[in-house]
Amino acid sequence: MTKTTDYYWRLVAEFKTCGKAVNIGSAEQEVSIAYHETVVARMYLDDGLVTFDSGGHRGKYTKDRINRFLRVLGVPMKVVSSKKVWFVDCTDTGEVVAFEDGLSLGPAYYQKEFAS
């Protein structure tokens, strides 16, 4: 079964309960979440690539929005921090990558297939 943009759109629609600062975007083959006008996470549905961008705001609410987005989409990753330094932790493999704006991670990193 091929998962479409509509499928993922329905999954992330619950983010509307997060408050006024959250916006959900849906393009042809991507789903994204914006927090305070910055797209903090985007998933490309054709290849499963996930990109991150804090917009320079590395606070607990930005991290929370990214993590909820990943969790709802079933991506086995989460953003964690230690002493104000952010990392992306792949919960399936245990690999950890330093978070940086513009970071993109694909299925080869987190070993999950999204589209067939």
Give the confidence band of 8 by pLDDT, cuts at 50, 70, 90. low
pTM over 0.75: yes
Residue 116 lies in a domain: no
For residue 114, what pLDDT is reported? 43
Residue 115 lies in a domain: no
Return the structure tokens found at 103: 């970071």
For residue 91, what pLDDT is reported? 83
| Domain limits for position 11 | 5-110
For residue 9, what pLDDT is reported? 65
Residue 44 lies in a domain: yes
Q: Using one digit for the tens of pLDDT, what is the confidence trace for 35-94?
A: 888 889 988 888 888 999 999 999 998 999 899 888 877 888 999 999 999 999 988 888
Alpha helices in 1-116 (DSSP H): 5-12, 60-73, 107-110
Residue 68 lies in a domain: yes
For residue 30, what pLDDT is reported? 80
How many domains is the chain partitioned into structurally? 1
Residue 75 lies in a domain: yes
Residue 38 region by backbone torsions, left for phi larger than 0, else alpha for psi between -120 and 50, else beta:
beta
Among 46, 95, 89, which Cα is nearest to 70's?
89
Q: In what order do the strands lie in the sheet with 85-90?
A: 77-82, 85-90, 96-98
Q: Name the residue type at position 71.
A: R
